[in-house]
Structure 1
Amino acid sequence: MLDLTAAAAAAAVPDRDGHESGDAARAGAELRQAQLDRAYSEILQEVRIAQCGIQFLFASLLALGVTPAFSGSTGLQRIVYCLALAFAVGAAGTLLAPAAAHRLMAGRPVREQLVRAAHRYLVAGLVFLALAISSALVLILDIALGATTALTGGGVALAWFALLWLLGPLRVRSRTRSCAG
């Protein structure tokens, strides 16, 4: 999870009696607010990048569903199409949630809660995005090469996303924790 308290705590310097001075406490609060603002700005930038991908995928899936070629699809292809479409809707909804939450909370002192919620929305949106891309790949590969190749390709794509988006970052995070400790 996001560790935003360490720097703010370090900035609050106690006086001779062990109490934080008003200036130090204010400086710590300002530092914390700056960290939260920076964290939220970074999350929104990440959301912008992911939104481009999901918008393109969603539009492509919508267009595919109304083409004459899709009218001859099998029952399995229609199921996979509906799954891909549902995952794309899930991704779009969760990736847009931080912007909606930001707008609804504007002017309220809830930046820390907003950062945590936006972090969760972004992670959930990326899970939906990985599922949407993988299931769309299954659909296209099934049409082009058959069900066995399609399921293999979709599984490989999903494993690739898990490796790049989850396992790699978790490994780096665990290494940095062990080096810092």
Structure 2
Amino acid sequence: MWGELIQEVRVAQMGVQILFAFLLTVVFTPKYDTLDSTDQTIYIVTVVLGAAATGALIGPVSLHRLVSGRRIKPRAVEWASRLTFVGLVLLLATMTSSLLLILRVATQDGYVPWLVTAVVVWYLLCWFGIPLWTRRRHTTR
């Protein structure tokens, strides 16, 4: 189970690291100074969420390294799995707030919250709904 978990984490890590790196550069652009206080607040929240997601998704690698050879692999897999789940939830929040910020800056139209909501519902379906439905439908008792 450890190998599968680490492979899954690698996919999420790459995405969150690229997103986080992009977010870190935004504050150094001239456009940042023109954002209103609401958009600057959304940006700050997004960066903090991105940092938290990065920490949670890199955590399993550190956990593995620090407990390797201690004969506690089942417990390590359990904790790494929890960290990964928390990381995915934080990544969802980061992507949501990033999308909100980008669409608010790109357009001031009233449909932005609806569009962001639709994308979040899609993420929830893909990341949690279908996997939970599959687990429930195909798990033998």
- Tell me the TM-score range normalised by the shorter chain: over 0.9
State the match for 2:137 in structure 1.
175
Taking structure 2 as the reference length, the TM-score comes to: 0.95
Q: Is there any run of 5+ residues in structure 2 with no aligned partner, and where?
A: none
Indicate yes or no: 2:108 matched with 1:146. Answer: yes
| Pairing partner for 1:129 from 91, 94, 98 | 91
Q: Deviations over 1:120-168 (max 9, x none)?
A: 1111111111111111010000001126333222222221111111111
| Pairing partner for 1:119 from 68, 71, 81 | 81
State the match for 1:83 in structure 2.
45
Q: Deviations over 1:78-111 (max 9, x none)?
A: 1110111111111100001101111111210100
Distance 1:109 1:44 in 2: 18
Distance 1:147 1:50 in 2: 31
| Pairing partner for 1:108 from 59, 70, 95 | 70
* Number of residue pairs matched by the alignment: 141
The 10-residue stretch of structure 1 (154-163 or 40-49) with the greater mean CA deviation from structure 2: 154-163
Larger Rg: 1
Which structure ranks higher in relative contact order (CA pairs < 8 Å, sequence separation ≥ 6)?
2
Paired residues of 1:91 and 1:126 also in contact (CA < 8 A): yes
State the match for 1:166 in structure 2.
128
Paired residues of 1:137 and 1:153 also in contact (CA < 8 A): no
What letter is aligned with 2:136? Answer: S
Q: CA RMSD in A?
A: 1.2
Residue identity (%): 33
Distance 2:101 2:129 in 1: 26
What letter is aligned with 1:81? Answer: Y
What letter is aligned with 2:21? Answer: A
Q: Is there any run of 5+ residues in structure 1 with no aligned partner, and where?
A: 1-38
What letter is aligned with 2:55? Answer: G
Query: The residue matched to 1:92 in structure 2 has which SS?
Result: helix
What letter is aligned with 1:47? Answer: V
Query: The residue matched to 1:146 in structure 2 has which SS?
Result: coil
Q: Deviations over 1:33-71 (max 9, x none)?
A: xxxxxx111111111111110111011111111100111
Taking structure 1 as the reference length, the TM-score comes to: 0.75
Distance 2:110 2:50 in 1: 23
| Pairing partner for 1:47 from 9, 13, 18 | 9
